[in-house]
Amino acid sequence: MNSSTSATIGLMSKESAADQGSGSNHPPAPPLSRYESQKRRDWNTFGQYLKNQRPPVSLPQCNCNHVLEFLRYLDQFGKTKVHVHGCVFFGQPAPPAPCTCPLRQAWGSLDALIGRLRAAYEEHGGSPETNPFGNGSIRVYLREVKDCQAKARGIPYKKKKKRKINHPIKTHQQDELIKNNSKQPAV
């Protein structure tokens, strides 16, 4: 067993001993869902980003401009090739060769991230009215990223139409008619 494994095991046994020795009869908290874990990780990452700003930004001082800067900052870690206008592969969904166009965060990833951060902001005591993640400029930015990436790939995003579900609404009279017809003897 190497030292990091033993340290981890020691850490786990200390945690479980602390849980048992606390005298509380509370059952252990259920593990977080994948969504909740990701939301917590995203929230911590954003908080760290704000702390690393010069000067550091506190959460109450945070506004939509900080969120936009954060989204642009994340682009450097992206894995989606976004062809620029001068690229010979611009507008091609499956380019035949590599190019030097930048890698960016995919629109869908940014959209999901903003959704999680928006929820986390309110869970941490922020009001929906002051939520910088729900600001209109964030929606505009996401729409621009979506359009830019769609054009660069040559694949238009089509807005999904809401399907109409044809559920006939039963009235009391229809229910009575069905009951009466089922009570009549078969001839």
Q: Which percentage of the chain shows pLDDT scores above 70?
A: 70
Residue-wise pLDDT tens digits, 136-173: 999 999 999 999 999 888 776 666 666 666 655 555 55
The pLDDT value given to residue 106: 94
Question: Which of 37, 38, 61 has the alpha carbon at shortest distance from 50?
Answer: 61
* Residue environment code for 7-38, b if the CB has 16+ CB neighbours within 10 A, otherwise e: eeeeeeeeeeeeeeeeeeeeeeeeeeeeeeee
Q: Band of the pLDDT at 22, cuts 50, 70, 90?
A: very low
CA 141 – CA 71 distance, rounded (Å): 9
